[in-house]
Amino acid sequence: MNIPHLFETLTTHHPYNFQTQTIERILNRQDTILRAPTGSGKTETAIAPFIFAKTLNLDFPNKLIYVVPLRTLANSLRQRVEMLVRNWENFYSLSRPLVVSLQTGENPEDPRFEGDIIFCTIDQLLSSFLNIPYSVGRGSGNVNAGVVFASYLVFDELHLLDPERSFTTVLKLLQQIKGISPFLLMTATLTDELAVQIKEIIENR
User: Which stretch of 77-86, 87-96, 97-106, 194-203 has the lowest confidence by average pLDDT?
Assistant: 194-203
Q: What is the pLDDT of residue 134?
A: 60
Question: Residue 108, class by beta-carbon neighbours within 10 Å (0-12 exposed, 13-18 middle, 19+ buried)?
Answer: middle
Calculate mean pLDDT across residues 191-204: 74
What are the residue ranges spanned by the domains of the chain? 3-202
pLDDT band of 81, cuts 50, 70, 90: very high
| C-alpha separations of 202 from 149, 188, 189 in Å | 16, 19, 19
Say what the alpha-carbon torsion angle 103, 107, 111, 113 is, to the nearest 10 degrees: -30
3-202 has which CATH code? 3.40.50.300
Q: What is the pLDDT of residue 140?
A: 58
Q: Name the pTM for this structure.
A: 0.90
Percent of the chain with pLDDT over 70: 90
pLDDT of residue 102: 94
Q: What is the band of 130 on the pLDDT scale with cuts at 50, 70, 90?
A: confident
Give me the chain's average pLDDT, please. Answer: 87
What band does 115 get if pLDDT is binned at 50, 70 and 90?
very high
**Given this model, what pLDDT does residue 205 score?**
47
* pLDDT per residue as tens digits for the range 58-74: 999 999 999 998 888 89
CA distance 199 to 201: 5
Give the pLDDT score at 132.
67
Output the pLDDT for position 141. 53
- pLDDT confidence of residue 114: 92
Residues of the chain with pLDDT > 90: what percent?
Answer: 48
Residue 65's DSSP bridge partners are 118, 153
Comparing 199 with 90, the larger pLDDT belongs to 90
CA 140 to CA 157: how far, in whole Å? 29
